[in-house]
Amino acid sequence: MSLAAVSPLWLIALLLLSPLVALLGWRRSLPGSLVVLLAVAQLLLALGLWRLLALQGPMHWELFPQAGLPGLSLRFDGLALLFVLLSSLIGAFSALQSLLYFKGLPVVQHRLWPRFWLLLPGLHLVWLAGDLITLYIAMEWVAVCVTGLIALGGQEPSLRAAMRYMQAVLLGTLAFLLGAVLLYGHYGTVVLAELTSQMSPGVVPLLALALISAGLVYRAALFPLHAWLPPAHGSSYAPLSALLSALVTKVSFYSLARLWLDWGETLNTVALAQALGVLGALAILWGGWMACRQDKLKMLVAYSSVNQVGYFFLLFPLLLSGSPEAAALGRDGAMLQVISHALAKAALFMAAGNLVLAAGSDRMAGLAGITRLLPLSLFSFGLAGVSLMGLPPSGGFMAKWALLQASLISGQWWWGLVLLAGGLLSAGYIFRVFRLSFEERQASHRFHPQPLLAEWLPLVLALMAAGLGLLVRVPLDIMTLGTDAMGVVP
C-alpha cells in the first residue's frame, strides 16, 4: 500500500500515542535506546505527515461525532504541519541532550521521562486543534507537564517557579474560557472553521477575542506579564529550558495567531492589534535591557526569551494594516521569527548548560578562560546569537527583514526602529558573554569537560538557525500548504 492511500489521521494517532510508551518508565528509568527510538519515531511520523499533506491537502476531522459534544476536532494544514515538524525536531534534540545531561542520575531520569514524553503529544494537539475545546484540553495538558518539568529538581526555587507558572496558567485559562463561552453562546459552536464562516463584527465577538487574547498573552509571558518566565528558566535544567523556551511559549502565540488570522480582519480590531504591537515592542526593549544586566548565564538567556517573544507580537498590527502585501509579509516574518527563535533558543540553552556544567557555576564571571575547554559550545552559543541579533544569512535576519518591509509598506515605520534597537540589545548581551569568556584571569575553580555529543547537538541546531535564511522557502512553502485554512493568501 502506497503512502498516498494512508489517512493522515492514522499517522496523527501514532504521533500522539507513541510517546505514551514512556509511561512504562513510571516505575523505573527508560533505557537510552528507547528514548532514541521515540525521538526518531516522532521525526519520521512528522515527515510522513508532510508527505501526506502535499499529496492530499488540508483536512478536518470531527472526533466522536455521535457523542454530540460541542467540539473535539482536528485541523491539519500547512501551519499545523510546520509546528509539528518543529516540535518533533526540538523534542528529539532535547531528549538526546537530556540523556547525556542526566547520565548517572537515575532518580532524576525516573521522574523526567514520563513528564517529558507526555508533553510532546500535548504540543502536537495544540498545533492540530480544530476547535476551542480541543485547544483548551491541549493547553492544559501542556501546562500540567510543564509544571512537572519546572519542579523536577524538587528544590525550593524550582517549586516556587512552578507555582508562579501555574498561577499564570490559571489566570490565563480563566480569561480564555470566558471568551470561549461567549462565542459558544453567541454562535452555538466552538469549531474554528464554523466560527470563521459565521464571524461578524459586534460587541460580543470583539469582547470574546479580547478576553481570549488577554488569557493567551499572559500565558505567552509577554511584557508586562512575563514575571513567571525568568524564574522558570533559571531554576530548570538546561535541556528542559531548551524545550520550554523553544516550544512552550509558542503554544499561546500560535493559538492567538490562528484566531487572529481567521477573525482579526473581520472584527476590525485595529486598536487591539496596535496594543499587542506596543506590548511586543516594550518586551523587545525591556527584555533586551534586562538580559544585558544579568550576572548569571541562564538568567541572561531567560530574559533573552522575554526580548525575543516581543517580535512575535509585531504580527498583529501588521496583519491589520490595510495592505494585503504588508499582511502577508508580516505573517511570513512572524512565523519565520518563531521557527528561527525556536532553533536558536534551544541551541542557546543547550550550549549554556554545557558551559555552566563545565565551569561549575552559573555566574558569568565563572566563564573566564572557558574558551580553551569548550570552544565548540561557545561557538554554538555565538552562532545561535547570530540569529537572535538578526544578522545574515540567519533565519532571524530574514524574519526581521520581512517584518521591516511590512512596517514600511504599511506606513508603520516605528516598528522598524524597534527592530533596530532590539538587534542592538541582542548583540549587547551575546557579546557580553564572549567578552567574559575570553578573559584570561585565573579561574577560581576547576573546569569539567563535557561529552563531545553534548557539544554537537546545540551546534547542529545553531547551524540550522544560522543557515535558515538560505533555505527560507522551505518553511514558507510548508506553511502555505492549504492556505485556504490560514486566512491570509500570499
SS3 assignment, position 474: helix
pLDDT at position 487:
39
- Close Cβ partners of 39 (under 8 Å, ≥ 6 residues apart): 91, 92, 95, 96
pLDDT at position 14:
85
What tens-digit pLDDT sequence spans the chain (490 residues)?
Answer: 455 556 778 888 888 887 777 666 555 566 666 778 888 888 888 888 888 888 888 888 887 766 667 778 888 999 999 999 999 999 889 888 888 888 777 777 777 888 888 888 999 999 999 899 999 999 999 999 988 888 887 778 888 888 888 888 888 899 999 999 999 998 888 888 888 888 888 888 899 999 999 999 988 888 888 888 888 877 778 888 888 888 888 898 999 999 998 888 788 788 888 999 999 999 999 999 998 888 888 888 888 888 988 999 999 999 887 788 888 899 999 999 999 999 999 998 888 888 887 777 677 777 776 777 778 888 888 899 899 998 888 898 999 999 999 999 988 999 999 999 999 999 898 888 888 777 765 554 566 667 778 889 999 999 999 888 888 889 888 988 755 434 333 3
pLDDT at position 489:
33
Q: Interior CA angle at 223 toward 222 and 227, to 5°? A: 90
pLDDT at position 223:
86
pLDDT at position 336:
92
Rounded CA gap, 116 and 111, in Å?
9
pLDDT at position 484:
44
pLDDT at position 485:
39
Cβ atoms of 168 and 225 closer than 8 Å: yes
b/e sequence 473-487, b meaning 16+ C-beta within 10 Å: eebbebbbbbeebbb
End-to-end Cα spacing for the chain: 35
Rounded CA gap, 384 and 197, in Å?
41
Task: For residue 287, give the C-alpha cell.
Answer: 527584555
pLDDT at position 490:
33
pLDDT at position 90:
92
Cα–chain center distance at 38: 21
The torsion of the CA quartet 204, 171, 166, 259, rounded to 10 degrees, works out to: 20
Domain boundaries, the chain: 1-165+230-256, 270-490
Q: Which of 65, 175, 87 is closest to 131 using CA atoms? A: 65
pLDDT at position 445:
53
